[in-house]
């Protein structure tokens, strides 16, 4: 039986000596629980000494006395596979992987350079424009009252995302892009060296509250009308970002039949947490290519 080690940043000791934001904790627990509940793998996980999962089987307690264990490559390399899951916020994921990537040899993750390029939204936008990937900058403004989106330059999800009426100059902390009045989706991928699997296509149900955009719910494993077009869209993305590996989430907007790339999350995402419920297949099965053609069902996850 394969031995797997999980490091989910919020629950796993990334915030030792810091207050844990409950809004982040909800999704973090869903993510962690989806990976550790299995009989087909021996799963261990780093666990903040304050977290309620500390009594679960496989918990490796992280406290003030052993905070460096999450960087201990000798310990991490004892496992068959290591899966770190960190937010892009403030370049946390990039900074963590940059520190361990040369010494930890049991991961299948995107290159550090790719994680930087996808975490820094300004760099990401510049690459998309240079390589002619459809994105908010390529959206044709046909209305006088074009709206814009302002979001954190190194943010995660819809956190601090709001609609504004005028385009603003990008800063070191914030970027502005065109608002596209379409439907938000994501596609969950598992990418190996020569191929990829679509784990699921997902509909993002958003809510506008005082011009702020919140992710209200996810409808996971849907079959939209543009599914065939999506393969070409993914191929174009992978040609521009060839070093994407492992679990990857791609956020995009569909508007009048055209797909616009919004973000790439080069990590395990919340949508992937419903894969077992939707398709009766554990997410870790994708690592070991235990795949089948079972279409499964759609499942909804309410976030707010």
In terms of DSSP bridges, do strands 3-8 and 42-48 run parallel, antiparallel, or are they unpaired? parallel
> What percentage of residues in the chain have a pLDDT greater than 90?
87
Q: Are residues 126 and 73 in the same domain?
A: no
Q: Are residues 173 and 226 in the same domain?
A: yes
Q: What is the CATH number of the domain that holds 233?
A: 3.30.470.20
Report yes or no on 56 lying in a domain.
yes
Q: Are residues 122 and 189 in the same domain?
A: yes
pLDDT at 22: 65
Say which residues have a Cβ less than 8 Å from residue 57's Cβ, sequence separation at least 6: none
Please tell me the total count of domains within the chain.
2
pLDDT at 235: 97
Average pLDDT for residues 253-279, to the nearest whole number?
96
Chain segment 115-171, per-residue pLDDT in tens: 999 999 999 999 999 999 999 999 987 666 789 999 999 988 888 899 999 989 999
Could you tell me the residue range of the domain that residue 213 belongs to? 118-302
Report pTM.
0.95
Report yes or no on 19 lying in a domain.
yes
Q: Are residues 231 and 129 in the same domain?
A: yes
Give all strands (DSSP E) within the chain, no chain letters.
3-8, 42-48, 59-62, 81-85, 148-152, 162-164, 174-178, 183-191, 196-209, 212-220, 246-255, 258-265, 299-302
CA dist., res. 89 & res. 86, Å (int): 9
Q: Are residues 281 and 137 in the same domain?
A: yes
Q: Are residues 166 and 273 in the same domain?
A: yes
Residue 232 has pLDDT above 80, yes or no: yes
CA dist., res. 96 & res. 71, Å (int): 8
Q: What is the band of 96 on the pLDDT scale with cuts at 50, 70, 90?
A: very high
Q: Are residues 77 and 188 in the same domain?
A: no
Q: Are residues 53 and 140 in the same domain?
A: no
Q: Are residues 160 and 296 in the same domain?
A: yes
Q: Are residues 180 and 287 in the same domain?
A: yes
Chain segment 239-260, per-residue pLDDT in tens: 999 999 999 999 999 999 999 9
Report yes or no on 106 lying in a domain.
no
Average pLDDT for residues 193-202, to the nearest whole number?
94
């Amino acid at each position: 039986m394969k031995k797997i080690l999980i490091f989910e940043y919020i629950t796993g000791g990334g915030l030792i000596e810091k207050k844990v934001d409950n809004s982040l904790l909800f999704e973090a627990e869903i993510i962690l629980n989806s990976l550790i509940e299995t009989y087909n793998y021996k799963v261990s996980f780093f666990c903040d000494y304050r977290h309620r999962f500390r009594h679960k089987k496989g918990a490796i307690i992280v406290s003030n006395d052993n905070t460096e264990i999450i960087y201990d490559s000798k310990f991490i390399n004892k496992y068959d596979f290591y899966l770190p899951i960190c937010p892009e916020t403030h370049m946390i994921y990039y900074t963590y992987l940059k520190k361990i990537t040369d010494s930890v040899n049991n991961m299948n993750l995107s290159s550090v350079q790719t994680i930087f390029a996808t975490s820094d939204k300004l760099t990401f936008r510049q690459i998309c424009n240079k390589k002619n990937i459809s994105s908010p900058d390529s959206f044709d403004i046909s209305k006088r009252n074009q709206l814009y989106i302002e979001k954190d330059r190194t943010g995660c999800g819809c956190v601090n995302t709001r609609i504004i009426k005028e385009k603003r100059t990008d800063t070191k902390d914030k970027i502005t892009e065109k608002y596209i009045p379409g439907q938000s989706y994501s596609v969950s991928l598992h990418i190996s060296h020569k191929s990829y699997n679509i784990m699921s296509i997902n509909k993002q149900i958003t809510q506008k509250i005082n011009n702020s955009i919140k992710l209200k719910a996810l409808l996971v494993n849907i079959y939209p009308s543009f599914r065939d077009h999506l393969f070409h869209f993914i191929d174009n993305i992978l040609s521009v970002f060839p070093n994407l590996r492992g679990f990857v989430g791609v956020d995009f907007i569909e508007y009048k039949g055209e797909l616009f790339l919004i973000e790439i999350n080069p990590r395990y995402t919340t949508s992937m947490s419903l894969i077992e419920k939707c398709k009766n297949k554990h997410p870790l099965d994708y690592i070991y290519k235990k795949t089948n053609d079972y279409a499964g069902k759609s499942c909804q996850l309410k976030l707010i």
